[in-house]
Amino acid sequence: MERVSYVYGPVRSWRSGTSLGIDPIGSTSTCSFSCAYCQLGKIQQVTTEVKVYVPTEQVIEDLRALEAGGGFVYEDLDVITFAGSGEPTLAENLAQMIDAIRELYADRKKQVPISILTNATMLNDPIVRERALHADLISLKLDAPNDEVLRSVNQPAEGVTVATIVSGIKMLALDCQADTTLQLQIMIMPKWLEKDEYLAEMAAVIKELGINKLQINTPTRAKPVSTTGDYWIDTRGNHYGPGESEDIKPDFIEFTELPVITKEQAFALEARLRELLADTLPGLEIVNVYKR
Ligand code: SF4
């Protein structure tokens, strides 16, 4: 059987433009969270185990093959993004992969920035932070102001709490050089709006973090749900909703619409966050999913 490629896309990202995906995790979905909205479906392996999931050489081999086959033009990319089948900081060879990609394209006139999308759960480990900082841009996630919301939205692996995530992000910001961008995404589920204090709690947490940019998001795409527990690897970047591309969607996948906040709610929430952050972070750039 032909092995799956660890390079996917390019996909069009509202946040980053034309993004070529690198999957450092592979054919079993593996993460330290199992988010209620995860586009991979239900995570098969919820873990904090750091190891080599995908050999670096295979990623480089896949990059060469995809470019040679016309799958992408390096110079047309806006970003190369590590995400894929789970949490990229679980990959022990993350820094090695980033460096190998830089070396592969070192002679090109344009240098495409390399980013990682991380749920920030592993950053208390200085070795994980050091590996992550090989990227030009680190996109962090914090969806919950407290552990009650964290358990409900993110369903973390044992030992992961809001306090451990916050301390990891703060240490990353301290380790970070001026030329690395740290952006934070908050995925807002309507449950959030049930309690006024969540926003104030979240603002207090954000003030501590040392981030450069904030993104307000909500799960606007249907979630794939496997009826067998199998993982459909196409969901890692090429998402197909109900009625789309039925020809390639396997029988065991169904889609579930997720509860989202409305445009009005998102803008009201953004305005309130701006007010709450104005005293300590007056220049913080805030991006709203509905301003795409
Ligand atoms: S952190 Fe990302 S990959 Fe992991 S479960 Fe949540 S959405 Fe999915």
Render pLDDT for 17-69 as a digit per residue (tens, 0 to 9).
899 999 999 999 999 999 999 999 999 999 999 999 999 999 999 999 999 99
Q: Whose CA is nearest to atom 5 of ligand 1?
A: 34
Bridge partner list, 199: none
CB atoms within 10 A of CB 220: 14
The yes-or-no verdict on residue 78 having pLDDT over 80 is yes
- So what's the pLDDT on residue 240? 55
Its pTM stands at: 0.94
* Residue 60: closest CA among 22, 116, 10: 22
Kindly report the average pLDDT of the chain as a whole number.
91
Determine the average pLDDT of the residues in 154-177: 95
23 lines ligand 1 (CB under 6 A): no
List CB contacts of 106: < 8 A, sequence separation 6 or more.
none
Distance between Cα 286 and ligand 1 center (Å)? 22
For the CA of 31, the closest atom of ligand 1 is 4
The yes-or-no verdict on residue 228 having pLDDT over 70 is yes
Q: Which helix (H) or strand (E) holds 126?
A: helix 126-132
Distance between Cα 83 and ligand 1 center (Å)? 9
The yes-or-no verdict on residue 277 having pLDDT over 90 is yes
- So what's the pLDDT on residue 290? 86
Distance between Cα 135 and ligand 1 center (Å)? 19
What does DSSP say about strands 114-118 and 30-31: parallel, antiparallel, or unpaired? unpaired
For the CA of 32, the closest atom of ligand 1 is 4
* Residue 79: closest CA among 152, 153, 142, 12: 12
- So what's the pLDDT on residue 257? 87
For the CA of 33, the closest atom of ligand 1 is 5
- So what's the pLDDT on residue 206? 94
Phi-psi map region of 86: left, alpha, beta (phi>0 left; psi -120 to 50 alpha): left
To test the pocket of ligand 1, the residue of 43, 123, 142 to mutate (highest count of ligand atoms within 8 Å of its CB) is 43
Token output for 26: 């592979």
29 lines ligand 1 (CB under 6 A): no
- So what's the pLDDT on residue 54? 97
The yes-or-no verdict on residue 104 having pLDDT over 90 is yes
Determine the average pLDDT of the residues in 261-289: 91
Q: How far apart are CA 230 and CA 131, in angstroms?
A: 30
Give the domain ranges of the chain.
7-291
Confidence category of residue 246, pLDDT binned at 50, 70, 90? low
231 lines ligand 1 (CB under 6 A): no
Amino acid identity, position 260: V
User: Which DSSP category does 258 fall into?
Assistant: -
Determine the average pLDDT of the residues in 104-125: 97
Domain 7-291: state its class. alpha beta
Confidence category of residue 241, pLDDT binned at 50, 70, 90? low
- So what's the pLDDT on residue 203? 94
Confidence category of residue 102, pLDDT binned at 50, 70, 90? very high
Distance between Cα 196 and ligand 1 center (Å)? 26
142 lines ligand 1 (CB under 6 A): no
Determine the average pLDDT of the residues in 126-152: 95
8 A C-beta contact, residue 215 and residue 287: yes
Q: How far apart are CA 290 and CA 292, in angstroms?
A: 5
8 A C-beta contact, residue 112 and residue 105: yes
- So what's the pLDDT on residue 195? 84
Determine the average pLDDT of the residues in 135-162: 95
Write out pLDDT tens, residues 210-220: 898 999 999 88
Query: Measured in Å, how far apart are the chain's first and last C-alpha atoms?
Result: 40
The yes-or-no verdict on residue 200 having pLDDT over 80 is yes
Token output for 5: 């490629």
Q: How far apart are CA 110 and CA 113, in angstroms?
A: 10
* Residue 265: closest CA among 216, 221, 222: 216
- In this prediction, what percent of the chain has a pLDDT beyond 90? 73
